[in-house]
Structures are given as C-alpha cells and as structure tokens.
Amino acid sequence: MLEFEGQRVIVTGGAGHIGRAICEAFLEAGARVLACGRRAPEQAIVAAGREALFVSADLRNAEASQSVIDEALSQWGGIDILVNNAGGSPPIEAASASPRLTEKILALNLLAPLVLSQQAYSALSANSQPGRIVNIASVSGARPSPGTTAYGAAKAGLLSATQSLAMEWGPDIRVNALIVGLVHNEAGVEHYGGDEGFRQVADMLPLKRMATPNDVANATLMLCSERASYISGASLAVDGGGEVPVFLHLAKQAADSV
C-alpha cells in the first residue's frame, strides 16, 4: 500500500515550481490532490497515472479561498492535508515599496495561509487521525531579508503562526513549517548573475548545491507521514546546512589572493 493511499491533499500554488513537485510527490504516494492558484497550469499535473484537480483562486480573497475548501469537500467529502505553499515577492527596496504592494505581499504570504488554515480547520479536525498542515516558509523569515522586507516579515509571521496553531489545534491537527533556503530554478539563473554567479552562490552552501523542488516535496511528505506523528509546531530547515556568512567567504578570498 502506498504511504498516502486515498488521502486528500490541498496544495496552494500547485502550478508553480515547488508546488508542482509537491503535488506530484503526493500523487506518486497514492494521494488525491487538489492544486490551486491564480492561473491554471499549461500542462496538467500528473504523476503515477493520477491527475491533480485544479481550482483557480486568488487566495488573497477569503471568498476565493473558501471556494477551494468547498470544492475539496464536494469532491472528496473531507480533507486530510493542507500544504500552504503559495507565496512570493518581487525584489524591491523598502523605501520604494508602495503601501498597496506591501499589503499584497503580506496578504499572499501570511494572511492567505492563515485564513485558509482556519477555513480548513473543521474538515482537518474531523478525521480518525490528526489532520496535517505544512506551511512553506523561507529563510527570509528567519534572518534579515533586505530587498524583500515585507516578504521576510510575512514569512516570520507564518513561522510564529505555525507554533501558535500547533498549540491551539493539537491533538486534532499537526501544524509544521519548512524554512526553505535557495532553490534551483532555471528561470531564475539571471537573478544570480548568470551561470557563474549561480555556481558561486551554490558553492557557498555547505552541501554545495541549491535545493531542488523535489527536496522541498520530500520534506513536506516526511512531515505529513506517520513517522512524524509526534512532530508538531516544528520549523524544519531545508537549506542545505545554512548560508555561510559572507565575511568568511570574503576573508577566504583575501587569504587565497595573498
């Protein structure tokens, strides 16, 4: 029997880079998956002969997020797992960010996962085994985030909410978070200064590579598995060992050049 055979899973941002990998991993493990996002994927989300349902919804709108819950209940009659993966932010200096943009960033990265979790509470807590919520957070919420201040603040808030909800909702629901570090994305290579900049950034990580979407997906499934049945309120770092302080890298460069 597959580990998540028949379990009912919602993945927000399911058509994105990391979200698709999470959907596919659950499908391969036997789950039924509903992905949601503002835009439907160009290609269906399929794995192991199973296809994810997709619901178009802007999760910053509470009525839209409720429609996602309603569709899952209509299709399946219940929900076992919620993965709050949708998020993101454009790079922008805090002094230049408009109040409206700041509100949108906070709405997507903090308010949306909190509200959707509240909306899913009744279904997640009605099962014979604990429901599970995994919040996909970021290293930006665990260390300074210059250039994406509102995003970092939102992710820090999400980590705090993870601990609070775990206390409020246990034992009926386990709530955990992933603190995701740098993730390899072919479309984002130029953000790091091209191939050489990308290589240098990856080389500064202890494991000498950025995460793949599958690394994040595997960690998500681990937190949702029975093997993690006593883990709740945790924030698991998926960052390849952490980011080496830049001053150490600069000092080594200086020493090597002597």
Six-digit token pair at 112? 């949306």
Q: For the domain 8-257, what is the CATH code?
A: 3.40.50.720
**Active-site residue among 121, 151, 192, 230?**
151
Query: What are the residue ranges spanned by the domains of the chain?
Result: 8-257
- Only one residue has tokens 């090597």, namely 256
pLDDT, position 203? 85
Contact 152, 211 (CB under 8 A): no
Those residues whose C-beta lies under 8 Å from the C-beta of residue 95, and which sit 6 or more positions away, are none
When pLDDT is cut at 50, 70 and 90, the band that residue 188 belongs to is low
Question: Is the pLDDT reported for residue 61 higher than 90?
Answer: yes
What are the structure tokens assigned to 100, written together? 């409206």
Most trustworthy range by pLDDT among 199-203, 207-211, 213-217: 213-217
Judge whether residue 187 has pLDDT over 70.
Answer: no
As a whole number of angstroms, the distance between CA 189 and CA 103 comes to: 28
Task: Find the mean pLDDT for residues 69-90.
Answer: 97
121 a catalytic residue: no
Instruction: Report whether 202 contacts 208 (CB < 8 A).
Output: yes
Q: Can you tell me the distance from the alpha carbon of 129 to that of 22, in angstroms, rounded to the nearest whole number?
A: 21
pTM: 0.93
E strands, the chain, in order: 8-12, 32-37, 46-47, 50-51, 53-56, 81-84, 131-138, 173-180, 235-238
